[in-house]
Amino acid sequence: MRLDLSEKDNTYVVKADLPGVKKEDINVRIDGNVVQIDAEVKQEKETKGNGNKVLRSERYYGNVSRTFSLAQDVDDTKAQAKYADGVLTLELPKKATAASKKLAVQ
């Protein structure tokens, strides 16, 4: 699975190529700064000759998976996933980091 990862102001944008995959067969998991994309691929291409004898069959069934980590945690409550024309697009907002607090030494 090939993908492009870019970063806008407070959002990561991921575009992953998943040609021929139904959107029901795609799973995206987010755990902190780790993103995992799983998909079940079913592709068939068959060429028949005279007399319905199979001369060539190019089938592929299987699972593809890609896991990667980002520099900052993702706010999974605001994350969005869209799938169109064989491309999965993820918009992953960065989680707001807590401001550091200085402790007074007593």
Name the percent of the chain lying above pLDDT 90. 58
Average pLDDT, the chain: 86
Evaluate whether 35 touches 28 at the Cβ level (below 8 Å). Answer: yes
Query: Cβ neighbours of residue 19 under 8 Å, at least 6 residues apart?
Result: 86
Q: What is the pLDDT of residue 47?
A: 63
Pairing of strands 26-31, 54-69: unpaired
C-alpha to C-alpha distance for 72 and 32, rounded to whole angstroms: 8
Domain 3-93 has CATH 2.60.40.790: yes
pLDDT attached to residue 50: 65
Least confident residue range of 16-30, 67-81, 85-99: 85-99
> Structure pTM?
0.76
